[in-house]
Amino acid sequence: MKKNEIKAVVVLSGGQDSAICLTLAIKKYGASAVAAITFEYSQRHAIETKYASNLVKRFNIAEHKIIALDFYKELTTNALMTPGEKITRKKNAKCPSTVVEGRNAFFLLAAAVWAKHLGAKVIYTGVSEADFSGYPDCRNDFIKALQKSMRLALDWPIKIETPFMYKTKAEEWALADKLGILDLVKNETVTCYNGIPGEGCKKCPACKLRNRGLKEFEKSRSLTLKVPRGRG
């Protein structure tokens, strides 16, 4: 792949958000101009890496890089990186025990370095502060600050695209439907913190957000599709 042929790098976890981000990037730039980067950081749902690779093959994008962040477990502990540990949320806590401190900062900086190497100026990430678990590195203030810092650090006009920053999960499902990937996102992604594909374990915070959004979308779509009966 020649430098400057890649236009966008997608942070691809293999979950609902990143799968839709990948589709949006492909729709705008074409599969041959899109690359994806996936991270292994001792997450208990590491199976998501396999699903990310499956998405890459399905869409036949230009390049996929899997990065091992083996050092992460030396820096912090949390339920997401500790198999078998109960996922909890302490009283008055801003987020559940699955928060991985600074994860998106590491991910996006690595993606930006690789993007510059490829000649790309755009990074897609599926973070949102509209319908999330309270993680501080999903907020728009953080994304804007990091983008400014990375531009200074790399001397490169990198732009972080966050198409879901102010969208609910229900709105994401509606977008997946519009893009023609509703069934793919339903069945071929892993959002569950326990590594169960599709609707997941139905108990962890990620599953609750995903499935609640799906129900809201399906209810809204059902109401839209209803046709009033004539009085004939």
What burial class does residue 8 get, using C-beta atoms within 10 Å of its C-beta: 0-12 exposed, 13-18 middle, 19+ buried?
A: buried
| Structure-token match 């600074």, residue found | 102
pLDDT of residue 43: 92
Cβ 77 vs Cβ 117: under 8 Å: no
Residues of the chain with pLDDT under 50: 232
Q: Which residues lie below 8 Å from residue 157, measured CB to CB, with a gap of 6+?
A: 121, 151
The structural domains of the chain, with segments of one domain joined by +, span 8-225
pLDDT of residue 58: 97
What burial class does residue 93 get, using C-beta atoms within 10 Å of its C-beta: 0-12 exposed, 13-18 middle, 19+ buried?
A: exposed
DSSP, res 4:
T
Q: Which two tokens stand for residue 7?
A: 């236009």
Rounded Cα distance between 126 and 50, Å, is 18
Q: Which two tokens stand for residue 195?
A: 């590594």
Task: Tell me the C-alpha to C-alpha distance, in Å, between residue 195 and each of 57, 199, 222.
Answer: 20, 11, 30
Which CATH number is associated with domain 8-225?
3.40.50.620
> pLDDT of 122-134, one tens digit each?
999 999 998 777 8
pLDDT of residue 232: 43
> pLDDT of 9-39, one tens digit each?
999 999 999 999 999 999 999 999 999 999 9
pLDDT of residue 87: 84
pTM of the model: 0.91
> pLDDT of 44-67, one tens digit each?
889 999 999 999 999 999 999 999
